[in-house]
Amino acid sequence: METKRRTLVKAILWNVIGFAVMSLVGLVATGSAAVGGAMALANTVIGFLSYLVYERVWTRIDWGRTRARHHV
């Protein structure tokens, strides 16, 4: 089972990477660091919240998981 803290840390790190990539894409697409940064920030906030919900939903789904066997 994944803890809420682990989910949060994963989401933050993933979104830092995504923000950097989207800032670069926005800069290249618009020619403006301000517009590209604003686009990246909006994308990051929406993506961060979506990722947290997505991960927490999947922690409740057992499909595809294997259970560890205890050997004596």
And the tokens for 38? Answer: 């604003």
Q: What is the pLDDT of residue 51?
A: 85
How distant, in Å, are the alpha carbons of 21, 29, 37, 43, 60 from that of 8?
20, 30, 23, 17, 16
In a domain, 63, yes or no: no
Q: What pLDDT is stored for residue 71 in this prediction?
A: 65
- Residue 48 inside a domain? The answer is yes
* Structure confidence at residue 41 (pLDDT): 93
Distance of alpha carbon 59 from alpha carbon 26, whole angstroms: 33
Domains contained in the chain, number? 1
User: Residue 9 belongs to what domain range?
Assistant: 4-58
Domain membership of residue 72 (yes or no) is: no
Instruction: Please report whether residue 21 resides in a domain.
Output: yes
Residues in the chain, pLDDT under 70: 68-72
Residue 8 to residue 35: CA distance in whole angstroms = 28
Task: Flag whether 67 is in a domain.
Answer: no
User: Is residue 37 one of the residues assigned to a domain?
Assistant: yes
- Does residue 66 sit within a domain? no
What count of other Cβ atoms lies within 10 Å of the Cβ of residue 9?
Answer: 11
Q: How many CB atoms lie within 10 A of CB 55?
A: 17
In a domain, 64, yes or no: no
